[in-house]
Amino acid sequence: MKFLPTLLLTFLYCLGYGQQYTLSGYVKDASSGEGLIGVSVFVEELGQGTTTNVYGFYSLTLNQGSYKVKYSYVGYKDFFEDAILNTNVRKNIDLSESDDLLQEVVVEAEQSDENTKGTQMGKIDLNIDKIKTIPAFMGEVDVLKTIQFLPGVQSGGEGNTGFYVRGGGPDQNLILLDEATVYNASHLFGFFSVFNADAIKNVSLTKGGMPANYGGRLASVLDITMKDGNYKSFHADGGIGLIASRLTLQGPIKEDTASFILSGRRTYIDVLTRPLIPDTSAFSGSGYFFYDLTAKLNWRLSDKDRLFLSGYFGRDVFTFNNADLDFTFNVPWGNSTASLRWNHLFNDRLFVNTSAVFTDYNFAFEGGSSGFTFRLSSGIRDGNLKQDFTYYPNSLHNVKFGWNYTLHRFIPSSLGASSGDVEFDTGEDVKIFGNEAAIYLLDEWDVSENFKINAGFRLSMYQHVGPFTRYYKNPNSGVTDSTTVYGDFESVKTYYGPEPRLSARYLLKDNSSFKFGIAHNYQYIHLASISSVSLPTDLWFPSTELVKPQIGTQYSMGYFKNFFDNKYEGSVEVYYKDLQNLIEYKENSFPEDNLSNNVDNQLTFGRGYSYGAEFFLKKRVGDFNGWVGYTWSKTMRQFDEIDDGGWFPAKYDRRHDLSVVLQYQLSERVNIGGVFIYATGNSLTLPERRWFSLEENRLITVWSDRNAYRLDPYHRMDLSVTVDAKSTKKQVDKDSGKVNMVKKKVISSWNFSVYNLYNRANPYFIFFDYSGDPLQGSVEFGANQVSLFPILPSITWNFKF
Amino acid sequence: MKKFFYILCVLLLINCQKEIEFDLPDVEQTFVLEAVVESGLPPRVIVTNTQGYFDPLDSNSFLNMFVDNAMVELHDGDTTFELVYSFVNSNGVILPGYTSFDPEIIGQYGKNYTLHVQVGDKEAHAKAQIPHPVILDSLWFFAYEAYDSLGFIWAKFTDPDTVGNCYRWFAQRINSYTYNYDPPFDNVKGTMKDNRPLAPIGSSTDDKLFNGLSFDFAVPRGEDGILEGPDDQGPERGFYKRGDTVLVKSTTTTYPTYLYVRAMENQAVSNGSIFSSPGNLPYNVEGDGLGVFIGYGVSYDTLICE
């Protein structure tokens, strides 16, 4: 093992061959000082270049000489710099916004030919400012909803938390907010995401070949970077909507050295409904609200060191009260995250980010009636340390390596209950501790002018450690036959996961390219759901000796082409994904079964596969722009204990999925956005037979095979109009009497949205009922579809100063 | 402004509901056993056939669901009894089913029973036990102030200090209605309120939360399955009323029965609910058919709600 570091250093040294010098620095927004992510730094005479990383840093090592370097970024004016490389050069660049900023489309805040030239398949960056003109539910701008308009990314439908990528479950998406894992990214059962768009700088989704610096999930990475805060001057942004308002404050603590951003949001459904529920009502005090708070501080400690401290805190709170029956319950849930990051430049070619991250997610259900009280809760808490190195040996290689350690603490289920003075024996809180660690190395290598690869390897490890009690249950009596007790830090089970990753691009002559990718991933945590849709009640559960790590292998390839001078881009991607060690609750499992028991005793294990083809056509620029995405896919599951081991469609198996997103800049101040989506109906288990229990006088349902039927297709059209108020006003010069146009201090806009324009009744769930009177001897049985929102107009006023 | 807020709330909370149809294929039907052995009573086995879920239920299809040509044998650990097709007394309701009039087969505490059923060339078998009963310490009625004379029955109970005990609660109002209700219940005055002991939702539990403890608990009034009674809607639903005379039938049972009853009651309240997944019941009948074989160790008590 001691040869490994030597081998690594030799490898890195060999990459940095020849008499070469390095051009490096940070690229920032000229007006705010914010670092810009993904800026193209390109030397045209060599046809070589690089892009800035998530902190805005770039490094380009070239042979000695003079070069004209072009810095370009979507929405910003190109910047040219003459660089004389006879020594290492540090050059920080400030880019100014382009005048025709509004001409760019929402997706891909990166260079115009990245579609064909990048090696990474299925990676999409969102332009956060432009998301704001897409129609949004109740006018609340939502990054999670926007990515669901992309091919290969599916929504579970209204009222479902999470999203589904290429046949993967919602737990298989790694959602990072400033490198902190967010376990539940939705408010109000999935109607809103927890991310306040005003505080977000960049959103990047990787759904194809995941590079080796990411791990721990099988399907995708949604990497969200918060704004740093304006280093130059104080600003405020906000919006007042029908059900929620938000406010963001940002500014310098010390100009060009330290900045802050603070952003908050709260719904006022509870406040609005309160006048409708009189104090005398038995239900007085019932209500729902959510809020979130995002904060970030940054210091540029020196030319080589930067420090970032960021955090998120959000809660949903649902309260029900019935005073007459002395019955009340309270359901709070939410995430908290904190990230402390330190950027350090060892030299012009070696960049390192060191992070300490804390993540916490909790769900609780507490209530009581007539002296009986109970509290059910579950949660997950992570402490994470990591270092990510980026080494730029020369312009042909971009090497990343690093390590990552996470201490997990899961509380799958905790219950307390009492009746009067008697405390029920709910057993000890089951806490599960796990060590998760990984090391990785990857190289993005320009093998030739046309051929580029991104090859990497990640070695991950998960260790379930004590304290832990394993319960062995008698299946006939439910009684604990025996237990095995593990002490503090005692190893219960250890897994290792070798994860090779490879993606490659071959550039063809006609501004098109062919790409392929293979990714083999391990995932050591799982989400188990008792309900038929994804809810905050879903349980995060780690690998144990019974629950093996989920393993996913994805093979994908695609053809990418840009047309008409990169104004249009298109792609066709196909993929096949194999999934092992998936989990489901056994039939007839109930939350109370977790008491004095291990949750994994209620689980059953299986496998799955998914394959599909994704088609994407986008008009990138112009007054009229947008995209069309279509996915054909098939996703199946197999569990030995479900349907006698037969294959069945996954609940989010969807044969057809079409999204059309269009925007039209009607005038300088008026933008019209429209969205249409169509998706095959969700799979569904139906009652096929019934029998009448005469002992109970109840109709007993005999269900079909799992997910053997389909709901009606889901389709919907939304429309929005954004009208910017005039940004200038007339001002008369007192001395000359001349009328000047001056910029207003407050810039505002109105957003009018209509959700579900043609009032489609999309299925949310189905329930089964009968009509008639059993005593009269005639009963008819039927199925009823419940739909959520009908046509729903909304209006939001956004402001900035 | 208030009206505007009201409209907004309605828009937010509105859910559109419509009836839909599914084109289900023909599915092969099978027989179902509902068998009960109960302390102090002869066994009862009701054999019926499943039906298509969306098939209408009328008097003809109700009568046609009974299977009258089954061969049913019950073994009590010593002797095998052949049960005959007759009428069985299901908690006071007379139904077509299989039973025996041999006094030797009357249910006894602590006995294990094995059931074997053959219908044509299809066979099924199941096992059950009648556990020893656990007597309630005391019973009382507590009326809620806000509801005047309505309330729940409360009980004090001491669970034996052995894990794995399972229970099920039934109760029957044996007094009569003193007035009529709105149609179709405009002729109930003078009739007994419940014609058999009824189990409320959540009627069964095991003792993992309260093993060996002594505690008080409240029980709402159960309904007779899908058969709606006069006071099963409106403010009286789920409540006992001051003046009711209640026969409480508390039973001990087995873990498989607890699992079955819990799932059956959950299905009754959550057909299609998003908070549960569709799942077939944990039947304990093995072989070709579906169904359940239950043993109850029964104790009775009577309470006058005052």
Q: Is residue B15 part of a domain?
A: no
Of the pLDDT bands very low, low, confident and very high (cuts 50, 70, 90), residue B140 is very high
Which of B30, B66, B127, B274 is the mutation pick for testing A, counting most A CBs within 10 A?
B274
Among residues B129, B151, B167, the one where a domain terminates is B129
Q: Is residue B20 part of a domain?
A: no
Among residues A682, A716, A750, the one where a domain terminates is A716
Residue contact B278–A687, C-beta within 8 A: yes
Cβ pairs A/B, distance under 8 A: 254
| CA–CA gap between residue B126 and residue B75 (Å, rounded) | 11
C-beta of residue A414 within 8 angstroms of C-beta of residue A433: no
| CA–CA gap between residue A618 and residue A254 (Å, rounded) | 42
Q: Which residue has the tokens 């096929």?
A: A688
Q: Is residue A170 part of a domain?
A: no
Residues 177-216, chain B, touching A (beta carbon < 8 A)? 184, 199, 206, 208-211, 213-216
Which of A369, A696, A776 is the mutation pick for testing B, counting most B CBs within 10 A?
A696
| CA–CA gap between residue A778 and residue B56 (Å, rounded) | 7
Is the per-residue pLDDT at A108 higher than 60? no
Summary mean pLDDT of chain A: 85
* Distance between A267 CA and the closest CA of chain B, angstroms: 13
Q: What percent of chain B has pLDDT over 90?
A: 61
Residues 352-391, chain A, touching B (beta carbon < 8 A)? 370-372
Q: Is residue B113 part of a domain?
A: yes
Of the pLDDT bands very low, low, confident and very high (cuts 50, 70, 90), residue B4 is very low
Is the per-residue pLDDT at A23 higher than 80? yes
* Distance between A209 CA and the closest CA of chain B, angstroms: 33
C-beta of residue A236 within 8 angstroms of C-beta of residue A251: no
**A93 shares its domain with A229:** no
**B166 shares its domain with B241:** yes
Q: How far is residue A195 from each of residues A142, A206, A693, measured CA to CA in Å?
A: 7, 18, 50
Q: What is the CATH number of the domain that holds A53?
A: 2.60.40.1120
| CA–CA gap between residue A107 and residue A314 (Å, rounded) | 27
User: For residue A750, what are its two tokens?
Assistant: 């109105």
**B79 shares its domain with B155:** no
Question: B269 — contact with chain A (CB < 8 Å)?
Answer: no
C-beta of residue B198 within 8 angstroms of C-beta of residue B224: yes
User: For residue A237, what are its two tokens?
Assistant: 């942004």
What is the tens place of the pLDDT at every residue in B57-83?
A: 888 888 889 999 999 999 999 999 999
Is the per-residue pLDDT at A7 higher than 70? no
- Residue A63's domain spans which residues? 19-99
Is the per-residue pLDDT at A159 higher than 70? no
**B125 shares its domain with B147:** no
Smallest CA-to-CA distance from A716 within A242, A137, A246, A86 is with A137
Q: What is the CATH number of the domain that holds A264?
A: 2.40.170.20
Q: Which residue has the tokens 């190395």?
A: A441
Burial environment of residue A4 by CB neighbours within 10 A (0 to 12, 13 to 18, 19 or more):
exposed
Amino acid at position A542, single letter: P
pLDDT of residue A149: 86
pLDDT of residue A566: 80
Among residues A716, A747, A773, the one where a domain terminates is A716
DSSP single-letter state for residue A272: H
| CA–CA gap between residue A766 and residue A712 (Å, rounded) | 11
Residues 259-298, chain A, touching B (beta carbon < 8 A)? 269, 272-273, 275-276, 282
pLDDT of residue A590: 81
Residue contact A478–B255, C-beta within 8 A: yes
User: For residue A46, what are its two tokens?
Assistant: 């060599």
C-beta of residue B187 within 8 angstroms of C-beta of residue B238: no
| CA–CA gap between residue B277 and residue A637 (Å, rounded) | 16
pLDDT of residue A268: 82
pLDDT of residue B27: 85
User: For residue A211, what are its two tokens?
Assistant: 């590079």
User: For residue A236, what are its two tokens?
Assistant: 């405020």
| CA–CA gap between residue A231 and residue A226 (Å, rounded) | 14
Which residues lie below 8 Å from residue A280, measured CB to CB, with a gap of 6+?
Answer: none
Among residues B129, B156, B176, the one where a domain terminates is B129
For B1-7, the CB contacts below 8 A with 24+ separation are: B2/A275, B2/A276, B5/A272, B5/A273, B5/A275, B5/A276, B6/A276
**A358 shares its domain with A492:** yes
| CA–CA gap between residue A45 and residue A334 (Å, rounded) | 52
| CA–CA gap between residue B15 and residue A801 (Å, rounded) | 40
| CA–CA gap between residue B67 and residue B83 (Å, rounded) | 14
What is the tens place of the pLDDT at every residue in A522-579?
A: 999 998 877 666 566 678 889 999 999 999 999 999 999 988 888 888 999 999 999 9
C-beta of residue A357 within 8 angstroms of C-beta of residue A179: yes
**Highest mean pLDDT: which of A23-37, A473-487, B177-191, B287-301?**
B287-301
DSSP single-letter state for residue A231: S
Question: B99 — contact with chain A (CB < 8 Å)?
Answer: no
Backbone angles phi, psi at B61, to 5 degrees: -65, -30
Among A323-327, A712-716, B137-141, B212-216, the minimum mean pLDDT is found in: A323-327
Q: How far is C-alpha A456 from the geometric centre of its chain's CA atoms?
A: 23
User: For residue B206, what are its two tokens?
Assistant: 């095991």
Smallest CA-to-CA distance from A153 within A616, A751, A667, A510 is with A616
**B80 shares its domain with B57:** yes
* Distance between B103 CA and the closest CA of chain A, angstroms: 23
pLDDT of residue A113: 63
* Number of domains observed in the structure of chain B: 2
Among residues A71, A99, A127, the one where a domain terminates is A99
Q: Is residue B9 part of a domain?
A: no
| CA–CA gap between residue A421 and residue A428 (Å, rounded) | 19
Counting DSSP H helices and E strands in chain B, the numbers are 3, 19
Q: Is residue A760 part of a domain?
A: no
What is the tens place of the pLDDT at every residue in A360-399?
A: 998 888 887 766 777 888 889 999 999 999 999 888 899 9
**SS3 category, A668:** coil
Summary mean pLDDT of chain B: 88
DSSP result, A723-736: EEPPSEEEEE-TTT
Q: What angle do CA B23, B26, B32 make, to 5 degrees?
A: 120
Question: A84 — contact with chain B (CB < 8 Å)?
Answer: no
**B52 shares its domain with B35:** yes
Q: Is residue B204 part of a domain?
A: yes
Q: Is residue A541 part of a domain?
A: yes
**B119 shares its domain with B215:** no
* Distance between B294 CA and the closest CA of chain A, angstroms: 11
Q: What is the dihedral of CA A249, A252, A257, A258, to 10 degrees?
A: -40
Contacts of B17 in chain A (CB under 8 A): 784-787
Q: Is the dihedral of CA A538, A544, A546, A547 positive or negative?
A: positive
Q: Is the dihedral of CA B1, B6, B9, B15 positive or negative?
A: negative
Contacts of A413 in chain B (CB under 8 A): none
| CA–CA gap between residue A556 and residue A537 (Å, rounded) | 34
* Number of domains observed in the structure of chain A: 2
- Residue B58's domain spans which residues? 31-129
Q: Is residue B53 part of a domain?
A: yes
Q: Is residue A797 part of a domain?
A: no
Label the pairing between strands A20-29 and A89-90.
parallel
Q: Which residue has the tokens 């806000």?
A: B146
What is the tens place of the pLDDT at every residue in B199-257?
A: 999 999 999 888 889 999 989 999 988 888 899 888 888 899 999 999 999 999 999 99
Question: B63 — contact with chain A (CB < 8 Å)?
Answer: no
pLDDT of residue A499: 97
Q: Is residue A751 part of a domain?
A: no
**Which of residues A236 and A281 earns the better pLDDT score?**
A236
- Which of B53, B62, B266 is nearest residue A777 as measured by Cβ atoms? B62
Half-sphere exposure of residue A670, counting CA atoms within 13 Å on the CB side?
A: 4
**A512 shares its domain with A657:** yes
| CA–CA gap between residue A597 and residue A260 (Å, rounded) | 47
Of the pLDDT bands very low, low, confident and very high (cuts 50, 70, 90), residue A207 is confident
Q: How far is residue A117 from each of residues A1, A40, A319, A507, measured CA to CA in Å?
A: 37, 12, 52, 7
Q: Which residue has the tokens 């209204």?
A: A158
Residues 38-57, chain B, touching A (beta carbon < 8 A)? 46, 48-57
* Distance between A592 CA and the closest CA of chain B, angstroms: 9
pLDDT of residue A644: 87
Could you tell me which chain A residue has the CA closest to the CA of B270? A767
**Which of residues B275 and A421 earns the better pLDDT score?**
A421
Q: What is the CATH number of the domain that holds B55?
A: 2.60.40
Of the pLDDT bands very low, low, confident and very high (cuts 50, 70, 90), residue A197 is confident
C-beta of residue A196 within 8 angstroms of C-beta of residue A265: yes
Backbone angles phi, psi at A534, to 5 degrees: -75, 125
Residue A635, beta-bridge partner list: A610
Q: How far is C-alpha B283 from the geometric centre of its chain's CA atoms?
A: 15
| CA–CA gap between residue B135 and residue B296 (Å, rounded) | 13
Is the per-residue pLDDT at B6 higher than 50? no
Q: Is residue A192 part of a domain?
A: no
ipTM given for this complex: 0.92
Question: B162 — contact with chain A (CB < 8 Å)?
Answer: no
* Distance between A425 CA and the closest CA of chain B, angstroms: 5
Q: Is residue B21 part of a domain?
A: no
**B116 shares its domain with B174:** no
Among residues B69, B97, B129, the one where a domain terminates is B129
Residue contact B279–A696, C-beta within 8 A: no
Q: Is residue B276 part of a domain?
A: no
Question: B87 — contact with chain A (CB < 8 Å)?
Answer: no
Contacts of A701 in chain B (CB under 8 A): 53, 267, 271, 278, 280
pTM: 0.86
Is the per-residue pLDDT at B10 higher than 70? no
| CA–CA gap between residue B195 and residue B229 (Å, rounded) | 10
Structural element, H or E, at residue A584: strand A568-585
pLDDT of residue A453: 92
Question: A510 — contact with chain B (CB < 8 Å)?
Answer: no
Q: Is residue A186 part of a domain?
A: no
- Which of A276, A422, A786 is nearest residue B17 as measured by Cβ atoms? A786
